[in-house]
Amino acid sequence: MIGEKMIIGILGGISSGKSTVAAEFERLGCGLVDADRIVHELLDTDAVKQQITAAFGQDVLGGDGRIDRSELAEMVFASSEGVEKCNAIIHPLVFARCEELISDFNECQEVKAVVLDMPLLAEVGWSERCDKLVFVDCKAEIRAHRGAKKGAGSKNKLKKRENFQISLDRKGKIADYTINNNSDFPAVAGQVGRIFSIIINNV
């Protein structure tokens, strides 16, 4: 049926496996709105690069002239002011693109629902935009290990970034469903499948 699709938002800590869960929802027939991918695309545009360098300086550029995302993250999460400056530049553009994608998916008959993979979903108020919220629960030690493998830094770095976010306890409480991601992918996929079946069949 063409029309407004149910929006499923993914919550969880850094390196908890939110994108893995979102990708599994996509495999089951959801349209995926990947905010991280949108940010990466925006950072490669001249307009955003100019705003970022004006706010954080030329040191944020790598040797290839593109924004060094790791360096930018270090600068952004050094203070609440840095977070606010970056958010003011990036968030309006991300939100506009997310709405465009949601609108496109609403016109796509084969899309069963929309899954929203946005790191700061609750912090920026987009949890209210969702019909259902899924929290990805994962132990801090496992998240730190996964983060280190992806180059996201140490456990202390993850903790520093999460200090600017709503607590995981709070995210867990506002979620409609919880997925345990402390084991392996088949276990996660099974949980996603069960939750998606419940969501779709209770629309």
81-103 per-position pLDDT tens digit = 999 999 999 999 999 999 999 99
Residue 193, burial from CB neighbour count under 10 angstroms (0-12, 13-18, 19+): middle
pLDDT reading at 1 higher than 50 = no
Q: What is the pTM of this model?
A: 0.90
Write out pLDDT tens, residues 63-76. 999 999 989 998 99
pLDDT reading at 2 higher than 90 = no
Percent of the chain at pLDDT exceeding 70: 94
Superfamily of domain 7-201: P-loop containing nucleotide triphosphate hydrolases (3.40.50.300)
Average pLDDT, the chain: 92
Spell out the domain ranges in the chain.
Answer: 7-201
Residue 19 contacts residue 7 (beta carbons within 8 Å): no
Residue 148: pLDDT band (50, 70, 90) is confident
